[in-house]
Amino acid sequence: MPGATPSQSACRNIFPTPANDELTLHSIYRELNQACQEIRLLRLHLDDHNGFIQCGLLAAATLSTIKGQYTAISYCAGDPRRTKAILVNGIQFNVFENLAHVLDMTRDFWRRTFPGKECIIWADQICINQFNLAERSHQVGFMTSIYSSAGQTLISLSTKEVEPRGVEWLVKLHQNVDPNGDFYQYYFHLEYYLRTNLADRRFVDDWFAFYDVFSSPWWMRTWVYQEFISSSNIYFLYGRSSIPWRHLSEVLPTLQKYSHFPYFGPAITERQAQVADTNNIVNFFVTSKMRFDRAGPFDLMDLLSQSRHLQSSDSRDRIYAFLGLVKENYGIVPDYSPENTMERLLVDIATRVVLQERTLDILSDACSVRGELSARLPSWVPDWTTKRCVRLEPRTVRDASDGSVPIFPRIVEAGKLEVQGFHIGVFRKGKRGWYFPTSQDRFRNSIEGRAELWVIVGAQDPFVLQHIGNQYRLVREACGYDTVESIIQRYGLRAQTVVLS
C-alpha cells in the first residue's frame, strides 16, 4: 500500500544496512515532508553516556531554514556487518563501525575547534530512515543541497585505531612552507624543506605515514565524491588530527604533481609507487573540486567517463551519485526499486541525453565505452559501469549541411533510436577483415549481416553500422574519411531514416 514502510530485510537487499531490531520497536522517525525538502538533524553529545556515544534526533526542518546551522559528515560506511551500538534518543542504535569512529572523532574535533558550542550534525545512516525505501530515494535526490547547505563538512579519512602522523606531517609542512607567492617559488621552498629534513628519521617516518592517507577507502567510494565537491567549508579528519581543505589544497597538488623530487632516495620513491593508483584517484578528486569551485557544474557524460573507478554497493549509484553536480536537468529521479535494473537505467539515461541535447555524440561514447553489460544493451547506449579507462572528446553541436534535416532523434520503442543519416557505401569482407573500397579503414569485428558506412546527422564522425533486417546496430566509429561532406555533396545523397537497436 502507498506509504508503507518496507521490511528491514527488503531494504537490506537493496541498501547495506545493519539490523536494528530494537529500533523498530520504537517510533523515533516521523514522516518527512518531501515537497519542501525536510531533513532530520542530530544533536551529538560531547561526552560518553555509560560508555556509549549518545545523540538526540531533532525535529524535522526544511533545508532552507537551517542552512549553515549544521555540520555534515562524510565517511566510508565499510562492511555493514561490522557495527557498534550508540544511543539515539536513549535507544540502542546499531551504526556502521566506521560511523561510530567518525562520531567519536567529531566530538574530539568539536571540543578543540568550537568549545562551548553545541554540535548539530547530519549523518545519513541515522538522519535518514534506512528502512523506508521511498524516503531514502527522495533524500538521495537532493544530497548535493544537503552538503552545500552545511556550515562545514567533516570528512573522515581514517578508520578505527589509526595513527594521525600522516596528517600531522601535512599540517607541519603547511606551517613551514609558505604557500603564498608564485608556484615556482613555492615548489623551491617545498623541495628545500623536504630535502633538509631527510636526516631526521622521525620526519621520514611521518612522511611515509602521509601516504597512508592516500590509502583511505574514503577516496574509492562513489557518493563521497559528490559530498566533497559540493561542500564549501571542509575539514579532513584522520585519527585525532585534522586539516582544513583550504590548507590541504595548497599543499597536496604540488606534492602530487612533483612527487619525484630529487635526492629523496629509493625508499620514498618506492613508497610513492605503492600508492600510484590511489594517487590518480586523489588527483581526480582534487582537480574536480578546483574545477567545480571555479567553473561550476560538469557535463554528465564527461563526469561518468572519468568516475567509473569509484565503488558503490549498488551499481545504480554510479549514475545517481553525480546528478547533483551536472549542468543539465535530465529529469532523472533516483529509483531503487528492483524493477529498475542497471540496464534499464542506462537506457533511460541515454534516451534522456539524446532527446534533450543538440548532439548525438553519445554514439561515439557508445563505441568507446563498452563493458560487461554492453551485450544486453542497445548498441547506441554506453555501458557507464565499465572500469576501462576511456578519454572522451568534448561534446559538440552539429547541424545538417542544408538545414533541412531534423537533428533531433526520437525513440520509436523501448531501446530503439530513430535518427537521420546519409548512406555512404558498403564494406567488403576480405582476408584481412572488413574494408571500405575507397579507404584504408579496416576492422576485424566478427559481425553478421552487412557492414555499411553512414554519416549520422548530429554526430561528428561517420560510423560503421551492422544492417540486420530493417534495423541497424552500431559497430564502431569509422576513421580516415576526411571528405565525407564532399562525398555527400558530390553524389547528391539524401538523408534517410535509420533505426538503431
pLDDT tens digits, one per residue of 319-332: 888 888 988 878 88
Pair 320, 197 in one domain: no
Residue 141 inside a domain? The answer is yes
pLDDT at 100: 94
More confident residue, 101 or 477: 101
Contact between 454 and 498 under an 8 Å Cβ cutoff? The reply is yes
pLDDT at 257: 62
pLDDT-based confidence at residue 133 (cuts at 50, 70, 90): confident
Pair 51, 64 in one domain: yes
Average pLDDT score over residue span 404-411: 66
Residue 405 inside a domain? The answer is no
Last residue of a domain, one of 295, 329, 350: 295
The beta strand positions in 414-494, using DSSP E, are 416-426, 428-430, 433-435, 442-443, 450-456, 463-468, 471-477
Reference 475, options 497, 494, 447; nearest CA is 447
The alpha carbon of residue 92 and the mean position of all alpha carbons in its chain are separated, in whole angstroms, by 33
Give the largest CA-CA distance in the chain: 86
pLDDT-based confidence at residue 491 (cuts at 50, 70, 90): low
Best mean pLDDT range from 85-94, 246-255, 385-394, 456-465? 85-94
Pair 263, 334 in one domain: no
pLDDT at 270: 72
Residue 388 inside a domain? The answer is no
Last residue of a domain, one of 113, 138, 156: 156
Pair 310, 198 in one domain: no
Pair 289, 307 in one domain: no
Pair 252, 150 in one domain: no
Last residue of a domain, one of 156, 181, 197: 156
How do residues 79-90 score in pLDDT, each as one tens digit?
Answer: 888 889 999 998
How do residues 273-313 score in pLDDT, each as one tens digit?
Answer: 766 677 778 888 888 998 999 999 988 888 887 777 788 87
Contact between 383 and 370 under an 8 Å Cβ cutoff? The reply is yes
Reference 127, options 213, 57, 217, 199; nearest CA is 57
Contacts for 324 with CB less than 8 Å, ≥ 6 apart: 142, 143, 144, 145, 226, 230
Residue 479 inside a domain? The answer is yes
pLDDT-based confidence at residue 204 (cuts at 50, 70, 90): confident
Contact between 132 and 82 under an 8 Å Cβ cutoff? The reply is no
pLDDT at 113: 94
**For the purposes of burial, counting CB atoms within 10 Å of the CB of 386, is it exposed (0-12), middle (13-18) or buried (19 or more)?**
middle
**For the purposes of burial, counting CB atoms within 10 Å of the CB of 201, is it exposed (0-12), middle (13-18) or buried (19 or more)?**
exposed
Contact between 304 and 318 under an 8 Å Cβ cutoff? The reply is yes
**For the purposes of burial, counting CB atoms within 10 Å of the CB of 99, is it exposed (0-12), middle (13-18) or buried (19 or more)?**
buried
pLDDT at 161: 63
Total domains, the chain: 4
How do residues 105-131 score in pLDDT, each as one tens digit?
Answer: 999 999 999 998 999 999 999 999 888
Pair 230, 314 in one domain: no
Pair 12, 114 in one domain: yes
pLDDT-based confidence at residue 9 (cuts at 50, 70, 90): very low
Pair 418, 488 in one domain: yes
Best mean pLDDT range from 179-188, 258-267, 377-386? 377-386
Residue 83 inside a domain? The answer is yes
Please tell me the distance from the alpha carbon of residue 300 to that of residue 74, in angstroms, as a whole number: 23
Pair 114, 221 in one domain: no
Average pLDDT, the chain: 81
pLDDT at 61: 94
pLDDT at 356: 83
Residue 395 inside a domain? The answer is no
Pair 339, 447 in one domain: no
Reference 421, options 377, 444, 453, 391; nearest CA is 453
DSSP SS3 for 177:
coil
pLDDT-based confidence at residue 399 (cuts at 50, 70, 90): very low
Contact between 234 and 152 under an 8 Å Cβ cutoff? The reply is yes
Residue 139 inside a domain? The answer is yes
Pair 223, 313 in one domain: no
Range of the domain at 417: 410-500
Residue 441 inside a domain? The answer is yes
